[in-house]
Amino acid sequence: MIQRLMSLSTVMALAVALTLVPSSGTAVAADGPTMLHPLLGVRPVVTGLVTPTSMAFLGANDLLILEKISGRVKRVTDGAVVGAVLDLAVNSASERGLLGIALHPGFPTVPFVYLYWTESSTGADSSALADVPLLGNRVDRFVWNGSTLTFDRNLIKLHAFQADAGQPLRGNHNGGVIRFGPDGKLYIIIGDNGRRGQTQNLPQGWSPGNPDDQFGGPQPDDAHLTGVILRLNDDGSTPVDNPFNAAGAAIGGHVGANVQKVFAYGIRNSFGMAFDPISGALWEQENGDDSFDELNRVEPGMNGGWVQIMGPVARIAQFKSIEVNEFGRNLQQVRWPPSNIADTPQEALARLFMLPGAHYSDPEFSWKYAVPPAGIGFMSSDALGPQFRGDLFVGAATTNTVGGHLFRFNLTGNRMKIAVDDPRLEDRVADNTTKHDLTESESLLIGRDFGIVTDIQTGPNGNLFVVSISRGAIYEIFRTK
């Protein structure tokens, strides 16, 4: 099993890892993670969880924790699981399952809790790839009464099933992180989910003149709205100040209405999204296939470039060379092979599907070969020391690298860029030598052996909390002296 995990492509390695965790929730060494900074320590908050993915703080020492495979929302108080407050019938195949949670900005006065989850078509928990509705990824709003969650309404249903001739069913690239921004709007991220249409920068789909897939396309109708960050009001309606509001109105119909919901597109897949507590800007982590994992500062209307571009567009030749000649050689989707990647930056940029008001931007940081990263979060207090306030922490999507790395990134004074001290990183690309290699990332490493990290947040006490899906645990990073 471990050998198979290590041999799969970057994001599928995460998918396999998520499905291989035994019922104890423990998949890596039992001695726990280690902090590499002399002022910081780490301790478990709760262990023995089954594939935890995300958390929300009800108060100090009081959390709601999501379990990917069980579909349960568990309450943890003072380090003990006091029970499940909700149990959903999830499809947990590959990267599906119970994935994301967000509390309403007015919580608890406004007692709404939002969940991103993948619905099972059987009415019971399932891990079979086919047991899911076409629009099985959903974001629902629930009401918290102090002890349980009760369904209130569905905000949106998203693509969850891709079946293409010549390859297995797909259940990965579901994204699933949801966050409320400082503007009070709900941000939802979903990966490409195996799609190859306009929001993957293929204006006429994967093969112009041919059906995009068995469900239509390539326009982002309900069955093809993937590879995007959506921005919604707290009731699921569309904010009129979204970047593509006018473009969507001009298109009209269901496609136009979906375009109006989009905040950014051209996104391959992500397990991490967070708001900078100082500037309010949105950042996301993005997984490449075998090359050019990214960290992005997401401005309204961003086109991230996928499938035409990963990493800085000036590195397009390296992107193509790695994907054509190494590892899986198929971008996890046989319909648009990596041999189609452009040969020059100018050609790649000319191919992008640009909605009116869209703009392409290079990532703020990337790795030449997939590391890969997963959950991200900002330190929003001085509890660890003022030198850590505002720093971005990035976890691992695999245990292949030092048992699960934890990176720390400083931002520049204007909060627009990644700040670096290592002269090798002046170009904001870690030129590592192969997948899972940390060359040129050594100065960024602040922790190890965290396993697969799916969520990082500053807690009510000001310390940093880390969810490890592979260890079945929540950890607290604290100042030791």
Domain locations in the chain?
Answer: 2-479
pLDDT confidence of residue 25 = 34
Q: What's the CA gap between 141 and 426, in Å, rounded?
A: 44
Q: Which tokens sit at 263? A: 């905040």
Is the CB of residue 88 less than 8 Å from the CB of residue 97? no
Listed residue (46, 2, 45) closest to 21, CA to CA: 2
Average pLDDT of the chain, as a whole number: 92
Q: b/e map of 138-170 (b: 16 or more CB within 10 Å)?
A: bbbbbebeeeebeeeeebbbbbbbbebeeeeeb
Under-70 pLDDT residues of the chain: 1-30
Q: Alpha-carbon distance 231 to 166, whole Å?
A: 35
Q: Which CATH superfamily is domain 2-479 in?
A: TolB, C-terminal domain (2.120.10.30)
User: Tell me, what's the pLDDT at 411?
Assistant: 98
Q: 365 near 428, Cβ under 8 Å?
A: yes
The pLDDT value recorded for residue 334 is 86
- Sequence-distant (6+) residues with CB within 8 A of 7 are none
CA dihedral 392, 398, 403, 404 (to 10 degrees): 10
Strands 137-144 and 149-158: antiparallel
**CB 368, CB 432: distance < 8 Å:** yes
Structure-token pair, residue 438 = 């940390």
Cα 252 off chain centre by: 29
Name which of 404, 402, 407, 371 is nearest 471 in CA terms: 404
User: CA nearest 69: which of 95, 39, 105?
Assistant: 95
Summarised one tens digit per residue, pLDDT across range 145-159 is 999 999 999 999 999
143 HSE (CA, 13 A, CB side):
5
> Are the C-beta atoms of residues 29 and 309 closer than 8 Å to each other?
no
Structure tokens at 287: 């997984």
SS3 at position 317: helix
* Cα distance between residue 284 and residue 176, in whole Å: 12
Q: Based on the number of CB atoms within 10 Å of its own CB, is 1 exposed (0-12), middle (13-18) or buried (19 or more)?
A: exposed
The pLDDT of residue 213 is 81
The DSSP string of 171-188 is -------EEE-TTS-EEE
Nearest to 469 by CA among 25, 11, 116: 25
- CA distances 378 to 239, 276, 458, Å, are 26, 6, 7
25 in Cβ contact with 47 (< 8 Å)? yes
Return all residues near 138 (Cβ < 8 A) that are at least 6 apart: 116, 117, 118, 119, 154, 156, 157, 158
Nearest Cα residue to 366 out of 421, 440, 301, 299:
440
Residue in this structure with the two tokens 């309404």, named with its chain if needed: 153
